[in-house]
Amino acid sequence: MRSYITTYASEIVIFFLVLNMVLFLALLIELAKNRSLKRRFLDLTSNQDFKSLEEIIKLTNEKVEYFEEVLKALTKSHRVLSENAKLCIKKVGIVRYDAFENVGSKLSFALALLDEFDTGVVINSIYSREGCSVYAKPIENGLSKYPLSAEEMQAIDIARKNYISKEIKE
């Protein structure tokens, strides 16, 4: 065994020298990685009152749970508001006209105000030289139990045609 070592002593020394250099380079690489991780950890904890990664993870999980609850509440609120919005005025149509031949400038009008289900009111203002009369007729599903004038029906048709649905897909 001694003769083997003495015969190959220079090769063995070179081998261990190369191995030592490779391990030294690996050590330098690991130190650089460690420094980088330490810098990232310090950046993560710099604005916190604690220094434990476990505390940061717990706090982050608590925040995630809180925001999940907030998201659920907002989603529920959005659904309620979306349903209520269907009953708001969304369709508007107006027709100006001359109610009488001797009165010009189209000062009379019929105004239809409808929700998503074509329910609402049609307001008719009739202007004459003696005064102005305003009438309101309820509308349900696009129809009224009172007789509608041509201008009122035209205002309802305009309201229906000008409506653009803006539904948000969930």
Instruction: Quote the pLDDT of residue 56.
Output: 77
List the chain residues with pLDDT less than 50.
168-170
- Please give the Cα distance from 114 to 156 (Å, whole number): 8
Instruction: Quote the pLDDT of residue 105.
Output: 85
Domain borders along the chain are 1-47, 50-85, 91-162
Instruction: Quote the pLDDT of residue 170.
Output: 45
Contact 94, 155 (CB under 8 A): yes
Q: What global pTM score does this model have?
A: 0.59
Of the candidates 117, 114, 99, 111, the one whose C-alpha atom is nearest the C-alpha of residue 155 is 111
Of the candidates 84, 85, 94, 88, the one whose C-alpha atom is nearest the C-alpha of residue 161 is 94
Instruction: Quote the pLDDT of residue 165.
Output: 66
